[in-house]
Amino acid sequence: MKKRILIFMAIVFSTSLFISISAQDIALPAPNKTGGKPLMQALNERQSTRSFTKDNLTQQQLSDLLWAGWGFNRSDQKKRTAPSSMNVQEIDVYVALPTGLYLYFAESNMLKQINNKDIRKLCGTQDFVAEAALNLVYVADLGKLKKKEGDPIKESDLLSSYANTGFIAQNIYLYCASENLGCVIRGSVPKDKLAPEMGLRPNQVIILSQTVGVPKK
Ligand SMILES: Cc1cc2nc3c(=O)[nH]c(=O)nc-3n(C[C@H](O)[C@H](O)[C@H](O)COP(=O)(O)O)c2cc1C
């Protein structure tokens, strides 16, 4: 009898654990891959914004934003909306939201929760980073470039990752221009403080961050 009760409790505990972990992830709605402003108009309106309201993006906007930046546009070939050097695709896009830090999984179109802390303030040195809806943090996984944990990392090892991030960031700029949202790409990131909060491994390197939100009128 005692054994049965223990087994029952173990099942209840593991089920609730499983549900609570998966419940914290965000399954995004399918991205809307049509519409928006014409490309030339979006280019004409692209700009950096540094003043945001506290409004959040809708889940549809979040899905569309991330797909525009770094989603798969040729899923059968596992290729994306932005190019990457030798198609290594070493850039991971982390999303710092008020509800926590998430990692974007383009294939399953979901945000996997890394932790439940609001680390937006830590994503930059300018006041608006803590106010805006979200900060994207672009992280190069040098493991995909055959760097082992603990291997020394030179600035020159990161050249392609900076270029690859630039393409993603420009896609985000154009999506924001098209959706009347605001954003700014930022090199001002306190990487030494942010990396441990994000739980990054030694061969994961923060490249840049990009603040996104609803612009103040
Ligand atoms: C690599 C890079 C790093 C940047 N870092 C910052 C930053 O830390 N903070 C900031 O407010 N803007 C930053 N910017 C945005 C530039 O200041 C901005 O693009 C420039 O002033 C031109 O304005 P525009 O984007 O509206 O055309 C950065 C831009 C780039 C390309």
Work out which ligand 1 atom sits closest to the CA atom of 162: 1
Residues 35-74: tens digit of each pLDDT: 999 999 999 999 999 999 999 999 999 999 999 999 999 9
Domain ranges of the chain: 27-213
Residue 48: CB within 6 Å of ligand 1? yes
Report the atom number in ligand 1 closest to the C-alpha of 189. 8
Count of Cβ atoms closer than 10 Å to residue 198 Cβ: 22
pLDDT at residue number 22: 56
pLDDT digits (tens, 9 = 90+) for 129-176: 999 999 999 999 999 999 999 899 999 999 999 999 999 999 999 999
* CATH classification for the domain delimited by 27-213, as one of 3.40.109.10, 3.40.50.620, 3.30.930.10, 3.40.1440.60: 3.40.109.10
**Mutation test residue for ligand 1: of 136, 185, 194, 210, the one with most atoms within 8 Å of CB:** 185
The helix/strand/coil state of 111 is strand
Global confidence as pTM: 0.91
d(CA 84, CA 78): 12
Please report which confidence band the pLDDT of residue 23 belongs to, taking 50, 70 and 90 as the band edges.
confident
